[in-house]
Amino acid sequence: MNERRLKFWGWGWEGESATDAEVDHLKRTYGAALKVGSFPDIPPPAEDEFKLPIPRLSPPDSLAAICSGDPYTRLAHCMGKSLPDAVRMFNRQAPHVPDIVAFPESEEQVSALMDWAGDEGAALIPFGGGSSVVGGVEPIVDDAYKGTITLSTVRMTGVVEVDKTSRAACIRGGTRVPDLEAALKPHGLTLRHFPQSFPMATVGGMIATRSGGHFAMLYTHIDDLVESTRTVTPAGIMESRRLPGSGAGPSPDRFIIGSEGSVGIITETWLRLQDRPVYRANAAAWFDDFYKAAEAVRAIAQSGLNPANCRLVDAAECQINGVSDGSCHLLILGFESAHADVSTAMARVKELVADHGGDIGDGGNAKDAVDRWRMAFIRMPYFREIITPWAILNDTFETSITWDRLPDFHRKVMDATRTAIKDATGQDGIVTCRFTHVYPDGPAPYFSLHCKADQARMLDQWNIIKSAASDAVIDNGGTITHHHAVGRDHQPWYEKQRPILFGDAYRAAKQTLDPAAIMNPGVIVN
């Protein structure tokens, strides 16, 4: 069987990349925006360009059939899809390659792998879609571990049961979002939770990392869609009861959601589903002033109307993504429903936009901008492999903040990031902001940065910028991540944000479930 393979060195599946037209567009964009004049063509790495260390572990006979030590497989599981990951791949650097990659097909095999790792003194690194942009899947462990085993969940797939009455489904943890949607479609149902990583993302991975999805309001995080979880830990199986709501003690699901593989592998879950939308209304509005636009978003977020789409994209981000000429800020609005006309709600939102100085414009103008934005959102991850050889750093970070602090927070984070770019590279870069999700009490601002780096110093330069941006987010009251997860990259700032005693309590809880500390060391618990 010729299985489709994920690129080991970049985003998506083998054979997928930016189109020639997109590459031309990127050249024009960065030529204009960053005065980049040369676009060196460095081919992506090949497997044989990496000299991999000999695996330090050898699986027992009972597990050999589900374990692989072949170079492609080890390389494909040695890091995620972050900017430094791409830089290192183009540098032909893979400093932390798992000794073994295991593909269990059952919970029994997951348990057996945990037992083996415990016996060997090896670390076990959970791997779902592998789309981490925060170092969540890279097997970086200290010398106390005798080796690393990456546990891929992608052979534990499928929809076990669909409950149309309650609009929920029992899904195995390794199921990828497109496969899930295909399985739900005949039932007229959809999860309708589409992170940017959706081509690869797995259900278990989304729960482990508290992913953010399609809905700008209400059902923002996967958290809200989880009805129950089933997790294999080194100490055994932890399964919560399927319930629409409960008040019986602290939520066991909320303990697992966001655990990022630090206590176990989410093998099964009941998720709440949506009917496929029938009624839709979309609009876009233009604003001259970002903070006035933010005030409009606040009014909408506090109106109780809960649009499915309410995304504010600042002018610079519109421009660099080819959405507009960058003269105005764009607010994308959408309602959808399977059951009721949404035009009244959209009319009310348009009033709020107009009240706050937004220009709803004509339908065509708005529709084009929204379509262009949507396409940019989907295609963006594929551009990293194009621009990394050009020594262009394009990274993102995201957070949330209450409305009262937004203007000051936004200015300080933008300034700190711009200053760090200048400090690190000696040149001005571009920093942009959009809101990915909004709440009645505040937005989730998502920042993008673009700058020209030095080919030989890209990692160092990125580190300087990432550190400064993370400091600014934490020092000014934000969260180190709204939906990208903690991973190894955010762990130092996460520890500043997390209540110290909660960290202590979680560490004790982990000790109970993972007494040999084999599960994803360095993530959540350090």
Q: Where in 241-270 is the site for its own copies (CB under 8 A)?
A: 241-252, 254-260, 263
End-to-end CA distance of the chain: 41
| Smallest separation, CB 485 to its own copies (Å) | 6
Per-residue interface string for the shown chain with its own copies, residues 290-309, x marking contact by CB under 8 A: --------x---xxxxx---
Q: Does 338 bind its own copies (CB under 8 A)?
A: yes
Contact stretch for its own copies (CB under 8 A) within 71-79, 377-385, 452-460, 475-483: 475-483
Name which of 99 and 514 has its Cβ closer to its own copies: 514
Window 381 to 400, contacts with its own copies (CB under 8 A): 400
95 binds its own copies (CB under 8 A): no
Contact 110, 126 (CB under 8 A): no
- Candidates 16, 105, 115, 275; binder of its own copies (CB under 8 A) is 275
Query: Token pair for residue 467?
Result: 């550190």
d(CA 272, CA 252): 17
Instruction: Enumerate residues 115-134 that contact its own copies by CB under 8 A.
Output: none
Contact between 507 and its own copies (CB under 8 A)?
Answer: yes
Residue 473 is a binding residue for its own copies (CB under 8 A): no
| Six-digit token string for 6 | 């994920």
The tokens describing 291, both together, are 């903070």
Q: How far is residue 74's CA from residue 71's CA, in Å, rounded to a whole number?
A: 5
Query: Binding to its own copies by residue 227, rule CB under 8 A?
Result: yes
Do residues 100 and 69 make contact, with C-beta atoms less than 8 angstroms apart? yes
Please tell me whether residue 62 binds its own copies under the rule CB under 8 A: no
The SS3 call for residue 5 is: coil
Q: Which of 193, 329, 418, 482 binds its own copies (CB under 8 A)?
A: 482
Contact 458, 391 (CB under 8 A): yes
Measured distance CA(498)–CA(479) in Å, rounded: 9
Is residue 55 left, alpha or beta, with left meaning phi > 0 and alpha meaning psi from -120 to 50?
A: beta
Number of residues that bind its own copies (CB under 8 A): 98
How far is 77 from 331, CA to CA, in rounded Å?
Answer: 38
Of 180 and 485, CB closest to its own copies: 485
Q: Work out how close the CB of 82 gets to its own copies at its nearest, in angstroms, rounded to a whole number.
A: 16
| 199 lies in the site for its own copies, by CB under 8 A | no
Q: Which of 105, 163, 289, 475 binds its own copies (CB under 8 A)?
A: 163
What's the min distance (Å) between Cβ of 520 and its own copies?
Answer: 12
Q: Would strands 148-152 and 100-102 be described as parallel, antiparallel, or unpaired?
A: parallel
Residue 97 vs 283, nearer CB to its own copies: 283
**Ranges within 404-423 binding its own copies (CB under 8 A):** 404
Task: Pick between residue 444 and residue 518 the one whose CB is nearest to its own copies.
Answer: 444
Q: Are 73 and 6 in contact (CB under 8 A)?
A: no
Q: Which of 110, 345, 360, 519 binds its own copies (CB under 8 A)?
A: 345
Kindly list the strands in the beta sheet with 67-68, ordered across the sheet, starting from the edge strand earlier in the chain: 67-68, 100-102, 148-152, 123-127
Nearer to its own copies, 9 or 403 (CB): 403
Work out whether 99 is an interface residue with its own copies (CB under 8 A): no
Q: Running DSSP on this structure, what letter comes out for residue 225?
A: G
Judged by CB under 8 A, the residue of 337, 419, 455, 467 near its own copies is: 337
Contacting its own copies (CB under 8 A), which of 46, 340, 354, 378?
340
Among 1, 21, 144, 501, binds its own copies (CB under 8 A): 501
Instruction: Write out the H or E segment, with its range, that includes residue 318.
Output: helix 315-320
Q: Which is nearer to its own copies, 390 or 494 (CB)?
A: 494
Long-range contact set of residues 477-481: C-beta below 8 Å, sequence gap at least 24: 477/401, 477/402, 477/405, 477/409, 478/399, 478/400, 478/401, 478/409, 478/413, 479/399, 479/400, 480/399, 481/134, 481/397, 481/398, 481/399
CB nearer to its own copies: pick between 328 and 473: 473
Q: What is 136-185 written as a DSSP string?
A: SS-----TTSS-EEEEE-TTS-SEEEEETTTTEEEEETT-BHHHHHHHHG
Minimum CB distance to its own copies, residue 248 (Å): 5
Place of tokens 């960053």: 34
| Interface with its own copies (CB under 8 A), residue from 165, 186, 325, 364 | 165
Nearer residue to its own copies within complex by CB, 312 or 486: 486
Q: In what order do the strands lie in the sheet with 265-272?
A: 159-163, 168-172, 265-272, 226-233, 236-239
Judged by CB under 8 A, which of 60, 158, 426, 440 binds its own copies? 440
Q: What are the two backbone dihedrals, phi and then psi, of residue 23, each rounded to the nearest 5 degrees?
A: -65, -45
- The reply to whether 42 sits near its own copies by the rule CB under 8 A is no
Nearer to its own copies, 340 or 456 (CB): 340
Stretch that binds its own copies, among 22-30, 86-94, 217-225, 357-365 (CB under 8 A): 217-225
Spatial CB neighbours of 197, under 8 Å, sequence gap ≥ 6: 81, 129, 131, 211, 381
Site for its own copies contains 515 (CB under 8 A):
no
Nearest approach, Cβ of residue 197 and its own copies (Å): 13
Instruction: Tell me how far, at minimum, the Cβ of 126 lies from its own copies, in Å.
Output: 15
Name which position in 104, 205, 261, 442 contacts its own copies (CB under 8 A). Answer: 442
From CA 491, how far away is CA 481, in angstroms rounded? 10
Q: Which residue from 74, 192, 488, 490 is in contact with its own copies, where contact means CB under 8 A?
A: 490
Q: Are 123 and 116 in contact (CB under 8 A)?
A: no
* Residue pair 305/377 in contact by the 8 Å Cβ criterion: no
Closest CA to 121 of 98, 145, 103, 99: 145
